[in-house]
Structure 1
Amino acid sequence: MQGSAARESLKDEMLRRIIRVINLLLASGDGMSVAELASACEATPEVIRDDLERLAEYMRAPLVSNWDAGDDADDSGRPSPDEEVWSLASKDFDFPVTSLSVKEVRTLLAILKRVGSSPTSSEPGESGGTNQGGPGSIARAVAKLESSVARAESSDAISLAASRRVIKAGRTIYGEGQEESKLDALGLYVSRRKPIRISYVNSAGVRGERDTCPVALVYDWRTCAWYLYGYNREHGGYRHYRVSRILGHSPSAVAMSAPSDEEVEAHVRMCWGVECSSELVEVVVRFLDDFNVIDRMYADTADRPKATYEVQPDGSVIYRDMMPGWNEFRTWVATFGESAEILAPPELRESMAKAVERVLERYGGPPHA
């Protein structure tokens, strides 16, 4: 029991620290260094770095840093805590990207109100500690959440549009061809489920016009791009359009029905990234019990609605999932190297085998000049 209590205490401490970090970054102008955040949170720079990376990678916070782990093979080129700066990706919008649905916010509100009315809650500092969860703090959090819910449920189209934006992970959000004003304009159609005609240029450079019912705006960190998810039952259901390739848009005269919010949410969750094909495919992968492989696999697939796991006698895990297309999934599996074996579908296994053959061909002889 003591071990369990200690773990819960560590969880509470981490949650308070993460909330503190977010509030500090919200209040800062151009971001804060790891050293400044560590000092303000009374923690070591290493702990703060872990918190920031966890926020960006697993909690989908829109954070950016002046250093990327991909720049170096190890941490040898990482700046000192005084020079490593983290900030929110954008300061000119009221967080149109959110990790909580209205239903989830209401659940959190109910929990906070129960905690706030508890006779055991106390103001920060009453017992000599640095508790950040006293009645005053809880009341302020409740007020902000209630204000957010009121905006999301109002008739304000911008707020409704913002509530239908989804982010897959935290990276730079805006760029050429996908300005916030453009997203707001498309978001109006999304919020009203109003049919739209878009002028679009595909990846081959071919221009055309498409009629669709917009249902969501999704940001994918893998491509650093926003996508408009549209639905047209007569043309195969869901289609994903890269916002930067949308040249123009106008109201559509074509009548079409919109899917329910539940259907849209299920579709967004089912996609591995932003890839979309007409039929779902089952993927099966064996992950070996190598260093950090199983833990990372569980972490990366924790939000997959159709995922199942079978632990094998040798410690390996067979992972099964359903998704509309496997190209993006294939890229993810490849990052595990020899610690992952694709079992199905056959086309995916064959594709990976051919990729391995090409690598062997490149490394089978002397390097090319």
Structure 2
Amino acid sequence: MEDQTEFFNFAKDEYDRNDSHDKVIGPRVCSYSLSFDYNKSEEWYKGSLSFKRDGKPIPVTFVKVDGVDGIDAASRAELIFHRTCEVGADVVLRPHKDLFIKQKYFPKLPDHIEIRKGVSCVCYDRFEPLKDWAYKVQSKEIVPYDDQLKLPLRTPDDRLQDFWRTSIGDLIRGVRSIHAKGLFHGGLHKQSSFVFFHDKLKVINVEGSLADLSLSEQDEKKKKDLMQLRMMLDVVFKKILGSKYSWKECSSVLKFFDNAECLDYPDCVEKLASHPFLLSSEERMGMFARYRRKWGTVATHTAVKKALQLSDFDRFKSWNSTEVLGSMDKFIKKSYDSHYRNYSGEVVDLLSFLRNLNNHYHQLKAFSVNVVDVDRGVQKLFPGFLELLYQHLEKL
């Protein structure tokens, strides 16, 4: 006890003597506790940290770090800890500390198990691993009723569930934040790099540095992070959706990842984050007005006209056939009828109609018109039209 008292007196004196504005001095002592199964190798352990004798333990998860490419596990854990702390993005879960944890000697505990030898870990607030969650969903341990925030991933009207829509957009922007700090992740294709924390999908274990790379090598690493994110989403969606994965709208955004790889890095990130599949109904409907303005602008009119004449848009010619008009819901049909004399069957008139529909919604939303229903109706009538506009007109 005297030694401990002496240490804290020393720490207090050092704290009091500190007159530097850019240096922090102080003791940080903690005790850790965790549970493990010595019959198997684990990627993470549930446990707790205590910073006071009578303090409330903090629930945490210890993420095991192995040595790789000549870097020992302890050094790598320290590196991951500092680089993950450095990012500070909302989408990155900030770790508490890196630790080397080792079980003390017990005669009945085999010497060869890893926790007996000791493992290096990075310690985070308690989270739910995406990998474990996806497995439980796949094995029916978790069903939509149990997790209404994240399930169903694909809604009955073929939309991406709001949690995933916002999470994927946040992840893309979060990866950009990692890169802005001069770092890259390097492991975003692994489900183990993603966790749920406080109803948010977050990234852990940032490791790579861009510092010693050429500009072209930096761009390559950055784009690889984005492509690895795409790989992870593809695997998780397939695992959860199974036979329902043949989903045109979802396939379009994953394909857009592949096409975006050819763009300059800043454009690549921006185009991915603002893809219609990841936008709210309000934002999606607003895009029709923006693209219609491009048609009416001298600088972009010719390019828009040329794009709308591409064969990709052929299936939207004669968009206002009797059959389509008969399929419109009441609000959409009313909006059409208010301008019907101005509409031919040309693709540009479909764009004008959807611009007018958006304006009509904003004029009447006080009367409880739901933009989600409007967007849903447009998707049902003209599936893939907005995605094609985005593909061909966004760059103009």
TM (norm. structure 2) is 0.23
Q: Greater strand share, 1 or 2?
A: 1
Larger radius of gyration: 2
TM (norm. structure 1) is 0.24
Q: Greater helix share, 1 or 2?
A: 2
